[in-house]
Each structure stands twice: as structure tokens, then as C-alpha cells.
Amino acid sequence: MSNAANPHHVRDYSLTGADTERAKATGLAGAEWYRTEVPRKLMKELMQRRDGPAIRDTLLWFALLGGSAWGGIALWGSWWAVPFWFVYGVMYGSVCDSRWHEAGHGTAFRTGWMNSVVYQIASFMVVRNPVSWRWSHARHHTDTIIVGRDPEIACMRPPNLFRLLMAYSGVLDMIDSVRILLRNAGGRLSPGEKDYIPESEWPKAIFAARVHVTIYALTLAAVAGLFVRGAGWASLIPVLLIGGPRIYGCWHMLMTGLIQHCGLAEDVTDHRLNSRTVYMNPVSRWIYWNMNYHVEHHMFPMVPYHALPRLHEAIRHDLPAPNTSIWDAYREAIPAVLRQARDPDYAFRKPLPPTARPYQERPVHG
Amino acid sequence: MADWVDVCAADDIDPEDVVRFDHGGRTYAVYRLPDGTPWATDGLCTHEKVHLADGLVLGDQIECPKHNGRFNIRTGAPLRAPVCVALATYPARIAGGRIEILV
């Protein structure tokens, strides 16, 4: 799908620019989005909160974090330590993203304080300000992939292919995240942050950033202390445990996260046009907490991660066919993103099954 | 001056559930709490104007279907971000097997 009427639209992804005004003027901001009809009785069942699945998964997560950290330290200096650090890296640097996300929605657990505890821990691990990112993600759900409104657009157009490729190393994202953290800790918020965070929450965001920076400073102090005491390479263990995994273990988060929306439409009000549902192996689904059902999640954010497979079965007749694997999703997304480098107005458009209602093509005022 | 307005039969709303009710150019959310008590609030979330009747009633709280913000149904007080502004609440009663709200 290419926008022939406006072939050279230069996008302004800032939240205070020309596209922000355009989104407001055209009704794309705060629009009413398409939703598949689901009987209220079934939807009530799907929305029900439970503590059991998330307690089980969280205990397993902490056990894997603790066990792999123990193995990595105990076998330090041996190649046998490598697989332990590999597991620890993914548990820290990738699992944190899905736990941050689900706990932030308040759908992981039925019990509120459990959501809050996991949210705070995961926010620290993923290097996201727990206050500002709560508001950022609310905006992402209000105005999903609306240029000038959504602060969480990962694949901008024309795409920066170097940055997209480097994303898997985690380095650039970590640099950006630390820069934001330090700016917040210094008492400053960007114009974009000021746009989507209510002013009453600004002091909380600054306080949270200062807490995070203090923990990182103590971690670096531990590295320096160990080095001075002659620990050699083992001095790096504190940063391999805290902060570092956000770089060396984030590859799974990026691998699954970048196929949520990349290559699909911008400035639409139907999540079937801008989001991707992808079938995945059970391990990736556990790491990702079922966010592979991404169209379903955006259409019905009230449904907890453990009920998304049931929701998928209930509404799949109205959705484009899901990608059959992560590889299949990349086979669709990569050519689309490469084409967007030449034609930024291009978007891959999935065919709908005959049982589906047509795409909602025009914005509807909410 | 406020009047008692007929909404629906009491049995039309399950305990711990909510329905949308449009009247006089406004939209309301009409609830029954787990013990069957009726309550009513404004129908749209104060955050992004989403219909709360599509949300989830959890005890005496309503969770918005779009951003998972929560309100206390009895008082309208905001309980969970991203909602910050309270909902207006309205008296509700069951009379002759029907739910009525005072608006």
C-alpha cells in the first residue's frame, strides 16, 4: 500500500511537531479504533484476572535468574560459564520487557501490589523510567503508530537501517536509555515526555530516575572496588549482573519486539493493519508472555497474557492470517522495511479472510 | 431538577458487571456490585473518553478497557494510572424489579 496522493510526505515523529497537529486535525489522535465483536459473556471470562499463572512464571523467572547467575559466577574463568551467562542475559535483558509490559497494564496478576512490585523491578532491568513509560505506553495504546502521537514507534520511515540492525546488539538503545535516565535524574524532561506525562507526575519520574541512577552508580563502584582489590576480569561481574544484560541479553526482546509493527501501516485506526500476530515456539512465548498475539493485545488490552491464546481463537476469523513463525514474520517485514527505505509511504497490507469485516480505512472520532 | 430514570430490569445486569445507558444526550455506566447493589457513574473514562461499559468490574472498581485505569464505582475516585480525574457518580436503586438512576 503506497500513498500516491502524498508521495513525499516527510514524517515528523516528534510529539510536538507538524504531524502532531495533523493527527489532531484529521481525527487520528484519540480516534475510535476498530474492534472485533466479541459477546460480552465471553469477553468477561477472557478479562478475568488470576494470580496463579503469573506467580508460577515469576517464581520460575527468579529461579532461572538466580541459578544462572550462580552458575556464571561459580564457573567464572571456564568456558562452562558462558551458557549460564547466556541464560542470565536473556532472563534479565529480554524477559524484563514482557514483565514490564504486562505488569504495567495491571493484567499480569489479579493482586495489585504484585503487579506493582514486578513492574518496578522490570522497569529497572529494562532501563525504563517506571513513571514516564507508564504514560508513554498509554499513549501507544491510544494512538498506535500514529505519526506525531505515538512515542513508541520503533520503525520510523524512511528506516535507519544501520540503527535497526544495530538494535539487536542492544548498544544504541542502551546509550539512548541511559541518556534519558541521566536527563531525568538531572531534573529535566524532554518536550515529548512533557506532552504525554501529566505535570503532577513529573516529580515522581525524576525521583524514579534518581533511584535507578544510584543503583547503577553503586554497581560501578563495586566494579571499581573489585578491580582495586586485584580481582582482574572478575571485577566485571557486577555489571554482568546489573545493567550489562540489557545489552548482551536483549536480543530476544528485539527479535520479537521489532516484528510487532515494522513494515505495516502508519496512521490507521484498525490494529489489523498496523500490528502483527505471529505464532512462536513455546520458549519464546514464555519469554515474551504471549505478546506474539499482538493484534489481539492491542484490540483488547484488558485481556491478560494467559488468556490471549483463547482470545485469538475467538476472533481469528476476523483477523489476517497470523505469521506462522518468527522467521516467517521477518520474511514479511524485512522486504517491507527495505522498500520503505526507497518509498516511505509503502506499507505491507495483509489480506483478510472472507469471514472478516473490511478494514476500517478512515479515522473515527472518539 | 434530577429525576429517577428507568434503565433496565435488575436481572439484565449480572452481579459484578456493567452496562452502558444513554439518556438525554449523555452516556452512563450502570453497575451491579458483587452483592447486587446498583450504582451509576458517567459512562466515559475521564482519561480518553472510552466507554467504561466495555471494561471489567472487579469488586467495587471499574477498569477502563483501553488503558486499564481504575475508578472506585461508589465514589468515582481514580485509583490507578493513567486516570487522574474522578468520575461523576449518580444514585441508583432497584424499584419494582427495575434499576433506576437519579440524573
- The residue of chain A with its CA nearest to that of B14 is A41
Cell numbers 538466580 correspond to: A66
Predicted pLDDT of residue A364: 58
Angle (nearest 5°) at CA A269 between A266 and A273: 60
Predicted pLDDT of residue A363: 65
Residue of B17, B16, B22 lying closest to B7 (CA atoms): B22
Q: How far is B40 from chain A (nearest CA, A)?
A: 19
- What is the average pLDDT score of chain A? 94
**CA–CA dist A221, A104 (Å, integer):** 31
pLDDT digits (tens, 9 = 90+) for A273-310: 999 999 999 999 999 999 999 999 999 999 999 999 99
Nearest CB among A142, A201, A301 relative to B68 is that of A301
User: What length is written for chain B?
Assistant: 103
Pairing outcome for strands B61-63 and B70-72: antiparallel
Predicted pLDDT of residue A103: 97
Nearest CB among A44, A107, A112 relative to B17 is that of A44
pLDDT digits (tens, 9 = 90+) for A205-251: 999 999 999 999 999 999 999 999 999 999 999 999 999 999 999 99
Provide the pLDDT confidence category of residue A6 given band limits of 50, 70 and 90: low
Chain A neighbors of B8, CB-CB under 8 A: none
Provide the pLDDT confidence category of residue B81 given band limits of 50, 70 and 90: confident
Predicted pLDDT of residue B2: 81
pLDDT digits (tens, 9 = 90+) for A98-157: 999 999 999 999 999 999 999 999 999 999 999 999 999 999 999 999 999 999 999 999
Tell me if B26 sits within 8 A of B103, measured CB to CB: yes
- Confidence check: pLDDT of A5 > 50: no
**CA–CA dist A208, A118 (Å, integer):** 15
**CA–CA dist B80, B70 (Å, integer):** 5
CATH topology of domain B4-102: Rieske Iron-sulfur Protein (2.102.10)
- Confidence check: pLDDT of A17 > 70: yes
Nearest CB among A134, A142, A302 relative to B63 is that of A302
- For residue A148, what are the contacts with CB-CB under 8 A and spacing of at least 6? A12, A13, A14, A15, A17, A18, A19, A20, A21, A22, A23
The full DSSP string for A228-255 is HTT-GGGGGHHHHHTTTHHHHT-HHHHH
Chain A neighbors of B54, CB-CB under 8 A: 43
Q: How far is B91 from chain A (nearest CA, A)?
A: 25
**Are A106 and B63 an interchain contact pair (Cβ–Cβ within 8 Å)?**
yes
DSSP code of A111?
S
**Are B81 and A134 an interchain contact pair (Cβ–Cβ within 8 Å)?**
yes
Question: What cell does A113 get?
Answer: 501490589
End-to-end CA distance of chain B: 8
Nearest CB among A112, A134, A302 relative to B55 is that of A302
The predicted model scores a pTM of 0.92
Q: How far is A153 from chain B (nearest CA, A)?
A: 18
Tell me if A28 sits within 8 A of A146, measured CB to CB: yes
pLDDT digits (tens, 9 = 90+) for B47-74: 988 999 999 999 999 999 999 999 999 9
pLDDT digits (tens, 9 = 90+) for A136-147: 999 999 999 999
Q: How far is residue A132 CA from its own chain's centroid?
A: 14
Tell me if B82 sits within 8 A of B67, measured CB to CB: yes
pLDDT digits (tens, 9 = 90+) for A51-89: 999 999 999 999 999 999 999 999 999 999 999 999 999
Residue of B54, B36, B31 lying closest to B101 (CA atoms): B31
pLDDT digits (tens, 9 = 90+) for A315-348: 999 999 999 999 999 999 999 999 999 999 999 9
- For residue B21, what are the contacts with CB-CB under 8 A and spacing of at least 6? B7, B8, B27, B28, B29, B30, B40, B43, B101
What ranges do the domains of chain B cover?
Answer: 4-102
**Are B49 and A30 an interchain contact pair (Cβ–Cβ within 8 Å)?**
yes
ipTM of the complex: 0.86
Q: How far is A47 from chain B (nearest CA, A)?
A: 7
- Confidence check: pLDDT of A355 > 60: yes
**CA–CA dist A304, A301 (Å, integer):** 8
Helix (H, G, I), strand (E, B) or coil at A115: helix
Predicted pLDDT of residue A54: 98
Helix (H, G, I), strand (E, B) or coil at B92: strand
- The residue of chain B with its CA nearest to that of A138 is B67
| Mean pLDDT (whole number) for A177-202 | 95
